[in-house]
């Protein structure tokens, strides 16, 4: 079984940061799991960081496990996995930060409460926009206490909400999918890439700047992760090589073309399945991969479970995002349960780990 470690930052009501070391893996029943291996407050006067080596022992155990099993594939290019949920959250948070003054002013009119879930912030802004379109919040209502946004500023809020809604649709389809494994990411990320590209070409002024900044963050993630995403897509019987070949026609430019070529080079070409020498010596036995690639693709199904269909593909064991679906929509570190923060470090760590092993399954 392949596993991957993930770090999650959480915060309690006293603003102390905690670190959570977790492992994502497939169990003996081919179920995707997430177990917490270590949980500790980053600021703890009773703990000497140089002596508190529980996390480092976990990392050393993982390193030993990988070294004993096999060498890292592709010189370790697939070992460093970036969290897409975190990128999504950063993109939206940056957009809201650019209009933070407008959000505050709308909040004074509509009693908006600051919410750490960005889709709820967007929902509240849209409700305020609806009231404005019905004639509420007129600039005539401006007083010394309320600075009512101008029609142009309301249009900016509307534009940002439109962008965030598009991101939410793709994120919801991805993170709320029933069987979240690495094979589905390329499809949904390409969908989001197309949406952002279209909005960038259609937008002007301030909104265009927001979309372009989002595209920079997204493209950086895309460049880092494309090889892994594309290989995993090939191992999805609904995509196989057809989708990567489709991507070659959509991705332009030197870097994009070379990335697609690198993926195609990892798999045998159809014309090479039967070599010239096989006609002289008789048919040669094909590999399982060659048989797989020759078979027709399966019809698209949202509830498709790749682990049930393909139990020998190691890459599908690792979700590309290390965040849970809830974390992908969060803009602030999650609070720690107040019942836990008053406990001693060892007991708190034991309770968090035990709860993830026996209580909550990923």
Task: State the pLDDT at residue 23.
Answer: 77
| pLDDT tens digits, 232-241 | 888 888 888 8
Question: What φ, ψ does residue 37 adopt, rounded to 5°?
Answer: -100, -25
Task: State the pLDDT at residue 280.
Answer: 40
Average pLDDT over residues 228-256: 78
Per the structure, the complete domain to which residue 49 belongs is given by: 1-81+331-362
Task: State the pLDDT at residue 36.
Answer: 83
Does position 276 have pLDDT exceeding 80, yes or no?
A: no
261 inside domain = no
Task: State the pLDDT at residue 77.
Answer: 67
Task: State the pLDDT at residue 212.
Answer: 94
Does position 2 have pLDDT exceeding 50, yes or no?
A: no
Provide the domain count of the chain: 1
205 inside domain = no
295 inside domain = no
| pLDDT tens digits, 72-111 | 666 666 667 788 888 898 999 999 999 999 998 888 887 7
Strand locations in the chain (E)? 3-11, 17-26, 32-41, 334-335
335 inside domain = yes
42 inside domain = yes
| Tokens 């007083």 found at | 143
Q: Are 119 and 164 in contact (CB under 8 A)?
A: yes
Q: What share of the chain in percent tops pLDDT 90?
A: 16
46 inside domain = yes
269 inside domain = no
250 inside domain = no
Does position 64 have pLDDT exceeding 60, yes or no?
A: yes
pTM given for the model: 0.70
């Amino acid at each position: 079984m392949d596993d991957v470690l993930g770090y999650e930052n959480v915060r309690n009501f006293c603003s102390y940061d905690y670190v959570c070391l977790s492992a994502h893996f497939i169990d003996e029943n081919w179920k995707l799991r997430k177990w917490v291996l270590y949980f500790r407050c980053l600021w703890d006067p009773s703990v000497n960081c140089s002596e508190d080596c529980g996390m480092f022992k976990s990392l050393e155990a993982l390193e030993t496990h990988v070294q004993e099993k096999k060498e890292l594939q592709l010189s370790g290019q697939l070992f460093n996995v970036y969290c897409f949920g975190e990128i999504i959250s950063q993109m939206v948070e940056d957009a809201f930060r650019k209009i933070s003054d407008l959000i505050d002013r709308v909040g004074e009119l509509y009693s908006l409460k600051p919410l750490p879930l960005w889709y709820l912030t967007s929902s509240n802004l849209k409700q305020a926009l609806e009231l404005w379109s019905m004639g509420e919040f007129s600039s005539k209502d401006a007083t010394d206490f309320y600075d009512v946004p101008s029609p142009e500023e309301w249009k900016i809020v509307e534009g940002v909400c439109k962008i965030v809604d598009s991101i939410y649709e793709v994120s919801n389809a991805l993170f709320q999918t029933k069987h979240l494994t690495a094979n589905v990411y390329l499809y949904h990320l390409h969908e989001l890439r197309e949406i952002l590209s279209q909005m960038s070409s259609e937008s002007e002024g301030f909104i265009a700047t927001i979309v372009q900044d989002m595209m920079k963050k997204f493209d950086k993630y895309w460049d880092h992760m494309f090889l892994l995403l594309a290989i995993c897509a090939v191992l999805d019987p609904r995509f196989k090589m057809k989708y990567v070949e489709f991507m070659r026609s959509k991705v332009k430019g030197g870097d994009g073309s070379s990335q697609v070529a690198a993926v195609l080079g990892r798999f045998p070409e159809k014309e090479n399945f039967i070599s010239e020498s096989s006609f002289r010596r008789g048919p040669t036995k094909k590999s399982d991969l060659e048989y797989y690639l020759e078979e027709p693709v399966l019809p698209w199904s949202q509830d498709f479970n790749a682990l049930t269909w393909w139990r020998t593909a190691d890459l599908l064991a690792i979700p590309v995002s290390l965040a849970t679906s809830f974390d992908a929509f969060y803009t602030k570190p999650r609070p720690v349960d107040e019942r836990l923060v008053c406990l001693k470090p060892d007991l708190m760590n034991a309770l968090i780990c035990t709860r993830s092993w026996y209580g909550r399954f990923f």
